[in-house]
Structure 1
Amino acid sequence: MSYKKIASVMVSISVLVLTLIAGKVQAGELSADEVKSLMKQRFPSLNITLINDSQLPGFFAAEADGDLIYITKDGRYFIQGTAIDMEQRKNLNREQTTAWNNLKSPMRKEDIAKLNDKDMVIFKAPNEKHVITVFTDIDCGYCRKLHKERQDYLDRGITIRYLAFPRAGLQSSAAKKLEGIWCSKDRQTAMTNAKLKQKFSKASCENPIAEHMRLVRKFGLGGTPSIVLENGNLIGGYQPAEILAQNLDSMKAVKQAAK
C-alpha cells in the first residue's frame, strides 16, 4: 500500500473515531479514555497524565500539566478549582492528589533510578542517611531558599541531587541559565552562583535537560521545587530541612520495622 493510501486510511480512521466519540458525547456515555482522547483533540498542548473516576458525582478527575481538573463524563465541561464535600467536610482535591501520589510512587522511583549521577548536580551529605532528587528552576524563589539552606540539609544527612525543570520551557532564558550550570566544569559552584549571586555561566554543551523535562511531563509536575524521595513519593514544594529530616527518619523507621 502506498504512503498516500496509508495516510488516507489513517485520516478516515481518525474521522470515524471522532464521529463515534461525538455520538457518545450526546448520549453521555464516554469512558475515561474517550474523554482523554476528546480533550487531546480540543487542547493538543494539554498533557493529561492520569484520568479516573472522582468522588465528585458525574465527573472524572484528571491530572493535566500537573494540575487537578474535573471533567464531566459527557466530555462537555471541565472545572479547575477545589472540590469540597460539605457533608463529610472533606477536601476532595487533597484526597485525589494523595491517591495519585501513592499510585505513581513506584513509577517515579524506577525512572529516577535509571538516571546517571553525571547528569545531576549533586550536593552530597558527609554522613548520608537520605537522598532527595529535586527538580529545580533557576528563577524560583523557594528553589533559591532551599539552596541557600542546603547546609542544613547536608548536616542532617540529606544528600541533594538536582534535576533541571525550567518552567518556562526548553527555549526559555531559564533553560539557557540551567544549561550554563550543567555545562560548567564546577556545577556546584555554578549552581550556587546562579541561585544566590545571580551570576550565570554562558557555557553550552550537550546536556540532559530535555530528558529531565520528559520526566517532568511524565510525573505531571506543576511547580518547583518538586522533591522526589527515595521511595518515589513526591513533595510538591519547599520543606524546611528539620521537618523533612523528621519525615524521612520516620519513614525509614517504619520501613525497617516492617522487615
Structure 2
Amino acid sequence: MRKSKAALLLASAMLMSCAGAENSVEENIRKAVEPRLGEGVKIDSVKATPYAGLYEIRVGDEIRYTDKTGSYLIVGHVFNLKTSEDLTQARIDDINKIKFSDLPLELALKTVKGNGKRVIAVFEDPNCGYCKRFRQQALKDVDNVTVYTFMYNILSPDSVVKSKNIWCSADRNKAWDEWMISGKAAPAAPANCTAPNEQVLALGQKLRVNGTPAIFFADGSRIPGAIDLQTLESKFSSIKQ
C-alpha cells in the first residue's frame, strides 16, 4: 500500500525533529563540558555511542565520555565484556589512521630488503633508545620490506644536528644504520647541505606523533613504540594486501 503524501511529510518531519534534537544534545554537551577541560582546549567532536547512553567527546586523539546532560566526565576505556574488545582503543586507532599514499616519502630515508613488497613508515629520533631497540630487535632481521624512515627530532637540539649529518652523508641509509645499530656517528654535514628537518617536524605534528618510534603501515594504521620481530610480522599478516 502506498503511503499518502501527508504521511511521508509527517515521517520526514519526525526524522528532522529527531536529528535536530540529537544535534541540540551534542551542542549542549559541548557548551557544558568544553569550558571545564582547561584553557584553550577545544572539543573536536561530540557523538552518541551505541552503549550505555554515553556520549563520546573527542579532543585530538583523546577520547572521553559524558552523559547527555554533560554533568559527568568519564576518563578511561570502555570494553565489551562479551568479546573483550577495547572499544575506546578501537576508536582511537580509527581516528589515528592516515592515508599512507599521502606521506611525502621524499623526506624520508628509504631502505628496501628482499622484494620490498611490505611497506612501513617509521618516525624516529636519532637519540631515541627505543628506536634503536626497534632497529636492533625487529628491522635488522625482517625481510621483504620497504622501510621509509622520517628522522623526527623531538628529544634534543642535538637530534637535529645528528639527523642533518646523516641526511647529508654520501650513503644516508648506511649512515643511519651505523648510528642506530652500531653507535658510529656520521661526519659533520657540509655547510651547503640542507636537511628536511623542519618539514618532517611539521609532518609529525600534523599526524599527532607524540613519541618515537611511531610505525605506520600500508593500511594507514599505526603502532606507537618499539615492537619485536614477532609482533611486526603478526601485524604484517593482519593487513590485507
Scaled by the length of structure 2, what TM-score is found? 0.66
Contact in 2 for aligned 1:135/1:225 (Cα 8 Å):
yes
Q: 1:152 aligns with which of 141, 145, 151?
A: 141
Instruction: Note the C-alpha offset of 1:161.
Output: 1.1
User: Alignment partner of 2:150: what SS?
Assistant: strand
Q: Percent identity of the aligned residues?
A: 21
Instruction: Note the C-alpha offset of 1:56.
Output: 8.6
**1:45-194, aligned counterparts within 5 Å?**
51-53=45-47, 60-64=56-60, 68=62, 70=64, 82-83=76-77, 88=81, 94-105=86-97, 107-112=98-103, 115-117=104-106, 119-149=107-137, 150-153=139-142, 156-168=143-155, 172-194=157-179
2:76 and 2:99 map into 1 onto residues whose CA distance is 26
Determine which structure has the larger helix proportion and give its number: 1
Instruction: Note the C-alpha offset of 1:219.
Output: 1.8
Q: Structure 1: which 4+ aligned runs deviate by more than 6 Å? A: 54-59, 71-79, 89-92
**Structure 1 residues 95 and 216: alpha-carbon distance in aligned structure 2, compared to 1, 3 A threshold:** farther
Aligned residues, how many? 209
Instruction: Note the C-alpha offset of 1:227.
Output: 0.7
| CA deviation map 1:68-116 (0-9, x unaligned) | 363868999988x63456x949999x423322323443x432422xx24
* Larger Cα-atom Rg: 2
Instruction: Note the C-alpha offset of 1:139.
Output: 1.8
User: Alignment partner of 1:98: what SS?
Assistant: helix
One-letter amino acid of the counterpart of residue 150, structure 2: L
Segments of 5+ residues of structure 1 without an aligned counterpart are 1-27
Contact in 2 for aligned 1:158/1:245 (Cα 8 Å):
no
One-letter amino acid of the counterpart of residue 202, structure 1: A
User: Alignment partner of 2:113: what SS?
Assistant: coil
**Structure 1 residues 157 and 78: alpha-carbon distance in aligned structure 2, compared to 1, 3 A threshold:** same
User: Alignment partner of 2:149: what SS?
Assistant: strand
One-letter amino acid of the counterpart of residue 96, structure 1: T
Considering only aligned residues, what root-mean-square deviation do their CA atoms show, in Å?
3.9
